[in-house]
Chain A
Amino acid sequence: MSSEQILALLPILVTSAASVVVMLLVALKRSHGLVFGVTVGSLLVALAAIGSSVSVMPQAVSSLLIMDRFALLYIGLILAATLAVALLSYAYLESRAERREEYYILLLLAAAGSEVLAAAGSYVSFFLGLEILSISLYGLVAYRRQTPLGIEAGVKYLILAGASSGFILFGMALIYAEQGSLQFAALAAAKGSSFDVVSLVGFALIVVGVGFKLAVVPFHLWTPDVYQGAPAPVTAFVATVSKGAMFALLLRYFIQLDLYQYGAVVLVFGIIAALSILAGNILGLLQNNVKRMLAYSSIAHVGYLLVALLASGPLAVSSVTFYLIAYFITNLGAFGVVGYLSSGEREAEEIDDYRGLAWRRPWVAGALTASLLSLAGIPLTAGFIGKFFIIAAGAGSRLWALLIILVVGSVVSFFYYFRLVLAIFREPDAGAQVPYPSASLAGGIALSVLTLLLVWLGVYPAPLVNLLGGMTSGLL
């Protein structure tokens, strides 16, 4: 490898090296604070390394990874989100009598796998990145291994993710057998105006696997249970980084192979998007558990993202990316508050746990309310601008049916978001008050930064929009 290639890979290299360093550190001395500090520091270094990688863009590193501006943008997003998850995890883990250090090794490895996914230019790196991410997540999801729910979530995720990996692998094998190449670019050059049967089956199998990871509707059954059983910061990671990395890959795949020209592909993704929006929002109405409610809401939000993905044209990539950033900030904020309020051995996941939050913890209540308003898409929050871009992109491509479903779904979603907001502002019960843990510095910093970003993007999105225009135009 040349020095330029190493420079281009620097963010991924730093993240991977950090996981090994943390592991060695744990072997020498178990100290939660030290491991936490090294993790946060290395994530910051990896973020800073993006600055030096920009100078050597675009760079194909062997045949596996394509480090272009698009990949770097998503790697930056993944690193920032992982940093937020790490900050939110500290107090959460500190209050639990479980070994804490392995968590950070797995978190860094999961981030490295996501980065590989965001930069994948071939099926080989696609699969390797996906598996690094999935296997780290098995450990993270089942991290509360002394609780039945945690183990159940881990087993469910293990079996279903394993099965979906099998689908993806078989699909790749079929496509390789037919096309003779694993590179996205070579596939794009070789493809004709229509798929042959074998490639079509292969592609369909890959869609199944990708759909599982994104938790879109026919493949969403694991989502509520895993979201509920996983520790709250891990749920935030699964909802944001894992989905975002997969979406980055899907976006690159769609654009590189120009899948827009195939009516069947667009139709399939359109149906998936419509089902996700409707089912996610309607099932969200039935939930009393905040984590399950947010799980269904995240299913619906991926549906919105697919609408933007299907809207081809210049606006599509930047509207998807903007919405994804807004979604990251919002969900990290919402799950961050759930983790922040979870004390000792139990999670603050029932709606009653939030009753009167505004009177007892006004700042945390403000952060959660802002996140919920952003999820609902109320003006002055990032979620509103994101939804605005999606509708603009969809209208530009005349996806009227999908847009109507999107609007209907959003209206339905108001009910359950505002149910929680209402609970927050209700008078607290005099008698049975759920004890909240004491405030933590790291979590508080993460929540305030997330909330500030959320409002800032909602009020003044122009700088980010311009940045995205420049970054995503460099795709390929």
Chain B
Amino acid sequence: MFPVFYVAGLVALVSTVMVVTRRNPIHALLYFILSLVAVAVIFLDAGAPFVAALEVIIYAGAIMVLFIFVVMLLNPGVALVIRAREWIGPAILSLLLTLGIVYSVVGSTIKTMGISATTPKDIAMALFGPYLLGVELASLLLLAGLVAAYHLGRRIEREAPARGASLQPGAPVGSGAPSSRKEGA
């Protein structure tokens, strides 16, 4: 039990540090996928196979693929060719992760760490039983995110000429207000 947790935890930590420190967004995203898969392995090891599957399907699968597409569409200038030197790191980490999974499957020690496994049925019963209200609240949360993203992401229309007047750089600010806008990948 513990070897798997420690290996997966180590992979998660190392790959997350790599996400933050990479300069090439595609490399960072590769490490990010690895980090999410490592977290999924931890979930699996902790007896939550359903959450582990969701982690892989939703985060590593859907969201990261979206990220990669967006980066590829927005940043054609970045070198998208991945040479051996750059994929060797993720490969070693994935290998470690695979060894961990193989070890736990061969040793049949899934659902360890002293916790009984949580089945999809348990989760469904909790979500639509005592936490039904929580599910409804989460839907409000998504609605808020959707409306905010719609408003902020909409194309700025050419409208009243008064618009440009407020854009002069000398807008009144106090101590250190601007200047944090220069950051970016």
B is a partner of A: yes
Give the dominant DSSP class at B's interface. Answer: helix
Give the residue of B138, B144, B165 whose beta carbon is less than 8 angstroms from that of A139.
Answer: B144
Q: What is the minimal beta-carbon distance from A133 to any residue of chain B, in angstroms?
A: 9
Task: Check A135–B141 contact: CB distance below 8 A.
Answer: yes
With a cutoff of 8 Å between Cβ atoms, the chain B residues found around residue A140 in the complex are 148
Q: List which B141-164 residues lie within 8 A (CB) of chain A.
A: 141, 143-145, 147-152, 154, 156, 159-160, 162-163
**B149, B150, B152, B180: most-surrounded residue (chain A CB, <10 A):** B152
CA distance A224 to B150 in the complex (A): 26
Q: Which of A20, A102, A128, A151 is the one whose CB lies under 8 Å from B141?
A: A128
Cβ of A196 < 8 Å from any Cβ of B? no
**Distance, CA A387 to CA B148, complexed state (A):** 38
Q: Is B172 an interface residue (CB 8 A)?
A: yes
Interface 9-mer from B14-22, B33-41, B125-133: B125-133
Q: Which of A239-247, A287-295, A354-362 lies at the binding interface?
A: A287-295
Q: For chain B residues 119-137, which have a beta carbon within 8 Å of chain A?
A: 130-134, 137
Q: Which residues of A contact B177 (CB under 8 A)?
A: 149, 152, 224-225, 228-229
Contacts of A106 in B (CB 8 A): 144, 147-148, 151
- Residues of B within 8 Å of A147, CB to CB, are 166-167, 171
Q: When the two chains form their complex, are residues A19 and B143 in contact, meaning their CB atoms are under 8 A apart? A: yes
Segment from A51-59, A75-83, A230-238, A343-351 that makes contact with B: A343-351
Q: A112 with B172: in contact, given A65-B133, A102-B151 (CB under 8 Å)?
A: no
* A-B contacts besides A102-B148, A113-B144, A128-B137, 7 pairs, CB < 8 Å: A128-B138, A139-B144, A139-B147, A142-B152, A152-B177, A152-B180, A225-B177
Contact residues in A for B149 (Cβ distance below 8 Å)? 139
Asked if A346 contacts B144 (CB within 8 A), the reply is no
Distance of A19 Cα from B140 Cα, bound (Å): 9
Listed from nearest, the 9 A-B pairs whose CB atoms lie closest are A139-B148, A345-B166, A128-B137, A136-B144, A135-B144, A102-B151, A109-B144, A97-B160, A97-B159
Chain A interface residue count: which class? 35 or more
User: Which of B42-56 touch A at CB < 8 Å?
Assistant: none
In the bound complex, how far is the Cα of B138 from the Cα of A135, in angstroms?
Answer: 12
Interface residue A16 (Cβ < 8 Å from any Cβ of B): yes
B83 touches A (CB below 8 Å): no
Task: Choose one: B131, B152, B167; the contact of A62 (CB below 8 Å).
Answer: B131
Cβ-based interface call for B61 (8 A): no
Q: Is A105 an interface residue when CB atoms closer than 8 A count as contact?
A: yes
Interface string of B54-95 (1 = CB under 8 A from A): 000000000000000000000000000000000000000000
Q: Which residues of B contact A (CB under 8 A)?
A: 130-134, 137-138, 140-141, 143-145, 147-152, 154, 156, 159-160, 162-163, 165-167, 169, 171-175, 177-178, 180-181
Number of CB contacts from chain A to chain B under 8 A: 127
Q: If the complex has contacts A99-B151, A149-B173, are A132 and B137 also in contact, measured as CB distance less than 8 A?
A: yes
CB distance from B156 to the nearest CB of A (A): 6
Interface residues of A (CB under 8 A from B): 16, 19-20, 23, 61-65, 97, 99, 102, 105-106, 109-110, 112-113, 116, 124-125, 128-129, 131-132, 135-136, 138-140, 142-143, 145-149, 151-152, 154-156, 224-225, 228-229, 286-289, 292, 344-346, 349-350
A-B contact pairs, 26 of them (CB 8 A): A23-B143, A23-B147, A62-B130, A62-B133, A63-B131, A64-B131, A97-B159, A97-B163, A102-B148, A106-B148, A113-B140, A116-B137, A128-B141, A132-B144, A135-B145, A135-B148, A139-B148, A142-B152, A145-B151, A145-B152, A147-B171, A148-B167, A148-B171, A287-B174, A288-B174, A344-B162
Q: How far is the CA of A170 from the CA of B54 in the complex (A)?
A: 20
Residues of B within 8 A of A289 (CB): 172-174
Which residue, of B138, B140, B163, has the highest number of chain A Cβ atoms within 10 A? B140
Cβ of A124 and Cβ of B181 under 8 Å apart? no
Are the C-beta atoms of A109 and B150 separated by less than 8 Å? no
How far, in angstroms, from A140 to B181 measured CA to CA in the complex?
19
Taking a contact as CB atoms under 8 Å apart, the answer to whether A63 and B130 are in contact is: yes
Chain B nearest CB from A404 CB (Å) reads 28
Contacting residues, chain A, for B132 (C-beta < 8 A): 62
